[in-house]
Chains A and B, each alone.
Chain A
Amino acid sequence: MKFLIIFGLVLFVILFIGASDDLAYGQFSNTSTLKVSFENNLLPSYEVPLVSGQTFTLSQNHSWVQDETSRYNLVSYTLDGEAVKISRIARGDFTLSIPTDSSHNIVFSAVQQHALSVDGTNDFSFLPSSPTNDNWFDAGTPVSVNVQKTTEIEANKVRQEITGWSLDKAEFWEIENNDSTSFTTPPIILDEYHQVDFFTAYQYKLNVISDAGETTGSDWYEQGVTVPIGINAGGDGLVLNSVSGWEGADVTYDGNIAQVFIDGPVTVSAKVEKNYSLVVGVIVVPILIIGVIGYRKFKSRIPVVEEKPVERIVEKVIERVETPEKKYGDGYDKKLSDYLSEQIQSKLDEMKSSGILSDSKYSKIAESY
């Protein structure tokens, strides 16, 4: 009997300790978990234990590469059944603070994206623009590339004109030379990676200038062409203008036809001379005639009249027609333009010597400039 009582007490103690352990285990083993999964199993699911009282921040890449030419980009997540949209970003991590009071279930949704590369110009935009603000687009999206047809390289001197484009280096199309300042490709379906190449040609400005009259031929031309130029010299009243020649590089002039060979930006100027023969015929001669008649008529009454030579009368008339102007040196535009070129070159040299610009880039810029 005593043995049974002792045995019973021992058993009670063992059971009580066991129950206490279970109770303690029950208090500390009740940790919460976060289950992270991806719609359509785009990435493997996983679970994270959540420790009550400590903050937990979930981090997930906005984009991840799927294969050679595509990637996935986060669009939304569902936390315990409640859907939330994610602001679309190409790079970096999406982070979310998770409450640790209980277990949670989060499901990420992502869309497939393909890249659209554009070469040959920097002055372009996508229509519509990328949802991730880069050159990646959601699979199946039709995208056009809008490009400015003309890029000014140097103001009023050199420009680059888009002449054609190709898709995936397979098909080539020429771009019509019309008045439009921009060109938009037909929609390209982004069901895979695509590359658009634009082809360009340099054009140079020909300026035909003159102090008098209207010139023809001023326009943009491609290198290597020969352009006819001309001038309607006109006149200032009775003073006629006539072209005596042309100044500027590469002008051929045979007295009738002038042509310029385009090998860069060119400015040519017409040398215009004033012709006073009409002034002499219309004004001076009648004055002389009237003068002679008057002289004969009043010869008897006028004692002595000093006869003025014709040349002096002509000079007087010309002086009245032409108002004297202050003379300034010629070719200031070119001098200033040369000064500009020198300053640009000196800045490039300075950037090279101070280690901002590499030797190879300096050479390339110097070549193109």
Chain B
Amino acid sequence: MLSEEDLIARILKIKPLKENCFKYLEESSNQLLTQKILFAISELTAEAMGPVKLSQIAQKTTGENDKLKQDLVRLTIEKSLLKCGMVEKLKYASNDVRYILTAYRFQKIKEIDSFRGESSQHIGDIFEMPKNTWPLSNEFYLLLAKKYGYEESLKKLHSDYDADVIPRGKYETLNSDYKKSLDQINEKLDSKYSGLETLVVSES
């Protein structure tokens, strides 16, 4: 299985897509199997925290996972999503092939071929897969919640001390304990989950 670092790298990455590939993400394609497959892979990966099997994707997108449906989904993936580089196929064993998105954020680009050479131009905003389908561990969400909890608790502690609700000794002990816990949480968010907090919380 893929490491958590690998999954995080996929979230942080912004993949440029040509118009013919970006169309699978657009509203106009929301009835297409291709878009349904993309969202299904994203959702299933978030639950499994790793690549997912064809049968699971078929079940999620068509409601069935018989051979016919699996073939239909496989062909769709191979003809479009693999070619566009939006999905990666991983072969764990001869009978264990799994799929995962290469990125969770995509930028539409237009390639310009002029006498100065090839270049690309960004078109529109970055498209993000729904955040609740990003493969983030429970630990990450809990760290975010705890960070908020400790920050709010420290504010309350300070105001209670100012209002003379608690003695100085108790205030200093609790202040030290809570600050230490908050520092540990921030340290972990800044190291293991570097860059994610801003992406998940601030830009939501």
Q: B-contacting residues of A (Cβ < 8 Å)?
A: 65, 68-69, 117, 119, 122, 134-135, 152, 154-156, 326, 328-329, 332-333, 336, 339-341, 343-345, 347-348, 351, 354-358, 360-361, 364-365, 368-369
Contacts and interface: CB of A to CB of B under 8 A. Distances in A.
Given A135-B3, A344-B142, 18 more contacts: A68-B91, A69-B92, A119-B1, A155-B184, A156-B177, A336-B157, A341-B149, A343-B153, A345-B145, A347-B148, A348-B141, A355-B131, A355-B132, A356-B131, A358-B46, A358-B47, A365-B138, A365-B142
B65 interface: no
Contact of A65 (B3, B43, B91, B141): B91
B146 interface: yes
B114 interface: no
Interface in B178-204: 178, 180-181, 184, 192, 200-201, 204
Contacts of B130: 355
Interface stretch (B33-41, B53-61, B73-81, B165-173): B165-173
Given A65-B91, A339-B153, A365-B138, A333 B148 contact: no
Nearest to B47: A360
A356 B153 contact: no
A336 B93 contact: no
Interface string B20-62: 0000000000000000000000010011000000000000000
B91 A344 contact: no
A336 B174 CA distance: 9
B156 interface: yes
A351 B145 contact: yes
Contacts of B132: 355-358, 361
A68 B90 CA distance: 10
B170 A332 contact: yes
Contact of B165 (A332, A333, A355, A369): A332
B4 A122 contact: yes
Contact of B181 (A135, A155, A364, A368): A155
Contacts of B145: 344-345, 347-348, 351, 365
Helix, strand, loop or mixed for chain A's interface?
Answer: mixed
Contact of B153 (A326, A340, A345, A360): A340
A27 B43 CA distance: 60
Given A351-B144, A360-B47, A340 B91 contact: no
B152 interface: yes
Contacts of B142: 344, 348, 365, 368-369
A122 B141 contact: no
A197 to B, nearest CB: 12
B106 interface: no
A329 B165 contact: yes
B133 to A, nearest CB: 7
Contacts of A358: 43, 46-47, 132-133
Contacts of A135: 3
Nearest to B192: A122
A152 B143 CA distance: 12
Nearest to A133: B5
29 contacts: A68-B93, A69-B92, A117-B1, A122-B137, A134-B6, A152-B184, A155-B180, A155-B184, A328-B170, A332-B160, A332-B170, A336-B157, A336-B174, A339-B153, A343-B148, A348-B142, A354-B204, A355-B204, A356-B131, A356-B132, A356-B201, A357-B132, A358-B43, A358-B46, A358-B47, A358-B132, A360-B47, A361-B141, A368-B142
B149 A340 contact: yes
Contacts of A333: 170, 174
A333 B166 CA distance: 10
Contacts of A340: 149-150, 152-153, 178
B125 interface: no
A351 B131 CA distance: 10
A272 B160 CA distance: 27
A343 B138 CA distance: 17
Contacts of A368: 138, 142
B94 interface: yes
B162 interface: no
Given A69-B92, A344-B149, A358-B46, A328 B141 contact: no
Nearest to A341: B149
Contacts of B201: 356
Interface in B81-95: 91-94
Contacts of B66: none
B147 to A, nearest CB: 8
B204 A356 contact: yes
A68 B165 contact: no
B113 interface: no
